[in-house]
Each structure stands twice: as structure tokens, then as C-alpha cells.
A and B are shown apart, each in its own frame.
Chain A
């Protein structure tokens, strides 16, 4: 107990002093900026979590080698396991603060993201000299940049509404689509997908009928055949699902086993492990909306990164938001010559830069990254579709590429901004 108090006291003393780097704009002294990775590293989502740590470590090497955060500035990832639980996330956040870390990356689970935003807002209000910034790379609940938006939160993934906007724009030119079936996991993400799908379909394709809207328990269902039977009975020719992991893999496989001729529009078919589980079952029936896939162009400058990552770790480099997040953070530090979160946050607002998939912009009003989106279909490797995903013999083929303005959504965010630093 006494030791804990002493440690806390020492930490507070260290934190009270501003980072030495901020004193000189032309930083000659080398500076290490620690970034906390708060996401599941154990339990059922451990596979996804550990792969994403590697994404971040890979990008950190890029930043350090190319001095993307300014001369002498290095990034370092410190991992924390939040076990995908919002309660555990709060416990972990205390450890992050105790260790004096000012930047957090998180993405797996909008519930945990929300808990983190809330904790960070309160912490930053009470301790403005030890403010923390959250870079959200995958939590897609639209509320995080609308009703629950925060100055200290920056989202680098396209949110649920944006992705559905791109999907439904694609569907506008598909007259063969008549009956749409919605199936989702029964929690906040699934509810959001279901809600926005119905909203946007009513607006853009009023002729299309929504013939089913199912919600099933998360990660519990092994046998999706009854749901496929319902889809067949309803004459569904299109299925929209926000499912991920085994829930998606088993759904698509059940559809193929039962010979259901419907197209599956998905959000998360590219997540590690899912392509392997789906394999040939997805051929000519599965599409996904994403901000990137490895065949977006016959050749492009970041292809080398994709191949490097794949060779080193034998896993797919798919979460490119890990790249854009750290690249933008680094650029903000380089421009301001500081690692102070308040200055960096203001520098990131409205920032435009180049990324593997095009030009990206961090919108100042809600801290939502605006970026192009792709609709891609699962098809055999060949020709321009050259990169084999997870050794399945299949890969993504662009069906439509949408520039940034197509998917961008208006926002209802009214964020309270702290005073601009001098």
C-alpha cells in the first residue's frame, strides 16, 4: 500500500513536468512517445487482438525508420489487455495513466470505446496537464462521432452509417435486387447495422422490400441453417449482415450448403481468420465494404508494405486504419514540434494527408476521418486480383470505388473544445 502511494507520487511528479521535447521546436534530444494499445489479448478475440498488435508494431517501425513524427521522435507500443470488457477497460485505463502514457489506440468493441471516451473526458477535465488522446481504429458505432462525440477522440475507421451509405449507393445500380434480408448479431453494432440499412434502403431503393430482420445471440449460433431456410422461404436475393468472426463464416457456409442463391453484403469478411473459414463457400456470393483491400490498383506505392507484413508475420495486413492513425499522429507531432496531446489534437483537426488508399481528411467538427470506400467481391485469384488472401486461393475484386464525398455523413456532434494552446 505504501509502495503504491510512493509510486503514485513519483508518477505524479514525473507527469507534472511537461515533456522535455515540447521545449524545443527543433528537437535535438531523442524522444520516445509511448502509445497504449488497449484491446483484447486473451479470450475468444485474442487472435484478432494479437494480429492487430503486430499491425501497430509494424507501423511504429515505419514511423521510427522514416522519422514520420519528426526528427528524433520514436513511437513505442505498450500493450494492455482489456479482455473486450468495458469494465476491464476502465481498470486498464488507470494503469495507462499511472504509467504516464498520453496516447491510446483502441478499436475492438464500441462498448469499450465508449467507456474509454467517458473515462478520458473526465480525466482530461480534472487533469488538463496530463491529458490523454484516443485514436479509435475500428469501433464503428456512429454515436461515437455524433451524440457521444468528444474532442479527445479521433476515429480512423469509416463508421457504420458511412459504410452502409457506400453499400446502398452500390445497390442503387442493381435492379436485380428485390428482396433484402437483414441478419445481425444481437448487440449494439448489429442493431445499428439493421437500423441504418432500413433507413438508407427506404431512401435510395424504395422499391426494394426488406423481407426479414433477424437478430441472433453473439457468438452462440453454430447452425445457421434455419435462418437460411427462412431466407429461402422469403425469396431473399440479397442478405445484408454486420456479422463478424465465426458468426459470419458459419452464415456464409450454411448458405452455400443449402444452395441459397443470394448475395451476402458484409462489413467484416476480411478480418483475420474469416477468409480461411469461408474459403470457396463465398465465391460469387460474398461482397464487403471496406476502406482498403490489397488489389485496389494494378500497382500502388504501399503494396510493398502489404507484402512485407505478409512475409514477416504470415498474416494479412488488412487494418490499414492502424497506418492512417499513427501516420496522422506522427504528422501532427512533426508539424507542431510537440508531443503534447492538446496541441497534437488541434493539429489533427482538419488535417489532410496521403494514405495507402487515397487522400484522407480528419473532419474537425466530429473527429471522423473521411476516406474513400470500396465495394469488393470475393473471387478466385487471377489477373489484376493478384494477392491470395490467407492462402485460400481467393481474393478481393473491386466492384465499385467511391470517392470520399459519397460516404461522408453529416454529423450532430456538438463537442466541447478546450481552449486552444498558445
Chain B
């Protein structure tokens, strides 16, 4: 049914755009500083918890602004007093630092908010299906539409920042010619601090909108952490547009995959090959696409690494 397909398309896009919000911060940090931030998924989690706390005290809409700002400050602090000191020893120590940081953040969250899930809910104004889509037979939640809107607005804002403002131009220059930028008198360490804080803020924003759509609990960083790396590797390390395409691709792949009952056996039968139940691969081929769909992005990761290691639009090698 067309409305079913359209509905799944929308769900896939909204999930993909959420992944993009997460991946964009990670890609920016990596392009700028060469640091693969393992704590990025934890920033996502912190954003969700910060939004939960602020929405308990004030409300959801202030939380939408305040939580990313808090994450920006947190990210800047981490860069200034943590990452910068480790920087002189190279990329691997930086990676280890962010790896350790991710564990600390998870424990900190459990100490403050406990080990169980918290009641971070979708605000009442955004609850319910989108009215005009109902007319086409599609029941799509307003909140998912809002999530897509936030992601697109964020993308536009980043693009405008990077291409139209002075700060953006300095950032772009520092990407490829850091020494010249410093020689021209710009405060490069401050730029780095700002970019890391900005990346953390983007992850925090993803947490604000994703935390109440999905469950806000200490395990949420782990469940989303792996898929974000898949997105940036498939899209190409260092490319924002690549991350965008890869995120949408993975969102759609997972969603359409889950909805399909196609099995390897059915495909083989279509080709005229009939495998009996005794043969070796039978149990593997009997698996339906919907059973393996959540694993498909990782399969894609492996294929991309074998066939085209620099990803779709990658600018950095190795």
C-alpha cells in the first residue's frame, strides 16, 4: 500500500536525520582536530538527561535551548582542561582519553539520576499524529516531524555558520591550514575549544529530541554509540555531506529491512534453486530480513571498509 510505504519512508527519514544530528558533531570534531571522540554517544545521553532535568524545573521548550548550551560548556571544559593536555602525545592517547571519559560520564549519570529509566516525556503540544497526513491515511507522530525539522534546521544553521560568518571561515581555514591561521593572529586553541564544544552541543541537541522519543536511561549511550561510527565511516571520515547521506541511507535501510519478510530461501526459490532443510546454509538462509535488519548497517560497514575504505565522500585516509 502506498500510504504504508510513505509512512515507513517518513519513519526511516526521521531516524536517519536523528543519526545525522549525532554524526555531524562527531564528523566536525574529527575533521577539525583529528580526534575520534568515543565519548560522543555519552554527550548524546548527557543532553537527554540535561533536557529531562531542565524540563522538570522549567519546561521542554527552554530545555531545547538550555541543554545544548550546557553541553557546549561541558565540551569546551573537556577540551580545554582534558583533551588539550593529552594532545601533545598524539592521536591514540586522545582516543583513549575520550574512551575513558565515556565510561566516567555513564557512571556519573547513574550516580546523579539512578540506574533506572527516567520519565522524560514528549511535551503534550507535540503529542499525537500529524493532522494533514491523516487525510492520506498515514498516521505519523507530530513529534517525529518536529525531530526532522530540528535536524534540518540544524543542518542549515551549521552550513550558514561555516560559510557565511567570520568564525566559520576561520574554522574552515583551520581545517586545512592551521599554522597559517595561527600566524595570522587567530586564537587557534580557542577555535578548537569552540569546535569541540559545538560538536558536543550538537550531540546534546540530538539527545534533547531523541531522549523523549526513545527511552532515556544509562544504557542509551551504548545502544546508539556503535551505529554513529558506522554512519561516519560509511559516509567518509571528515565529510559532513557524506555523513548526511550515510545517515539517511542507514535509517531507510533499517526501517525497510525490518518491514520485509524476505528470506534468502525465497530469493533462491525465485531463482529456481530449492534448498532442502538438511543443507548447511539452510538455517542462515531461513532468516528473514526483518530478523537481521538491525544488523544490516554493520554489514554495510564491513562491505564499505573492504570495497571503498574512505567511505562515500571521505576526505581523509587512514
Contact = CB atoms under 8 A, between A and B. Distances in A.
B4 A229 contact: yes
A215 B293 CA distance: 11
Nearest to A274: B117
B259 A50 contact: no
Contacts of B110: 46
Contact of A273 (B11, B217, B223, B261): B217
B223 A222 contact: yes
Interface stretch (B77-85, B186-194, B250-258, B299-307): B250-258
B139 A259 contact: yes
Nearest to B254: A223
B119 A246 contact: no
Interface residues of A, number: 38
A246 B290 contact: no
B72 to A, nearest CB: 25
Contacts of B15: 222-223
A390 B116 CA distance: 11
Contacts of A249: 117, 215
A223, A227, A315 interface centre (most CB from chain B within 10 Å): A223
A239 to B, nearest CB: 15
B315 to A, nearest CB: 29
B265 to A, nearest CB: 16
Contact of A229 (B7, B114, B143, B224): B7
Given A214-B291, A215-B291, A277 B259 contact: no
B7 A277 contact: no
A105 B116 CA distance: 22
Contacts of B214: 222, 246, 250
A221 B15 CA distance: 12
Contacts of A217: 291, 294-295
B218 interface: yes
B121 interface: yes
Contacts of A47: 114-117, 217-218
A371 to B, nearest CB: 27
B129 interface: yes
A315 B114 CA distance: 11
A275 B139 CA distance: 24
Interface in A232-250: 232-233, 246, 249-250
Contacts of A220: 223, 294-295
A217 B296 CA distance: 12
Contacts of A44: 218-219, 222
B294 A226 contact: no
B8 interface: yes
Given A221-B294, A246-B217, A259-B129, A226 B256 contact: yes
A87 B186 CA distance: 56
Interface in A175-215: 186, 214-215
Max chain B Cβ within 10 angstroms of own Cβ: one of A51, A216, A233: A216
B280 interface: no
A41 B256 CA distance: 37
A246 B255 contact: no
Interface string B113-152: 0111111010000000100000000011101100000000
B1 A51 contact: no
A11 interface: no
A92 B144 CA distance: 45
Interface in B1-30: 1, 4, 7-8, 11, 15
A276 B8 CA distance: 27
Interface residues of B, number: 40
A226 B11 contact: yes
A390 B290 CA distance: 34
Contacts of B119: 276-277, 279, 390-392
Contacts of B11: 223, 225-226
Interface string B151-167: 00000000000000000
A229 B141 contact: no
Contacts of B117: 47, 246, 249, 273-274, 276-277
Given A47-B217, A230-B290, A279 B121 contact: yes
A276 B116 contact: yes
A392 B117 CA distance: 13
A384 interface: no
A190 to B, nearest CB: 11
Contacts of B139: 257-259
A51 B255 contact: no
A219 interface: yes
Contacts of A186: 291
Contacts of B223: 219-220, 222, 246
B259 A51 contact: no
B215 A257 contact: no
A362 interface: no
6 smallest CB-CB distances across A and B, nearest first, come from: A47-B115, A226-B258, A226-B259, A259-B139, A47-B116, A44-B219
23 contacts: A44-B218, A44-B219, A44-B222, A47-B116, A219-B219, A221-B258, A222-B15, A225-B8, A225-B255, A226-B8, A226-B257, A226-B259, A227-B258, A229-B7, A230-B259, A233-B1, A246-B219, A249-B117, A257-B141, A257-B143, A258-B7, A258-B139, A276-B116
Given A277-B117, A391-B119, 10 more contacts: A44-B222, A46-B110, A47-B114, A223-B11, A226-B290, A230-B290, A250-B214, A258-B7, A258-B141, A277-B217
Interface of B: 1, 4, 7-8, 11, 15, 110, 114-119, 121, 129, 139-141, 143-144, 214-215, 217-219, 222-224, 254-259, 261, 290-291, 293-295
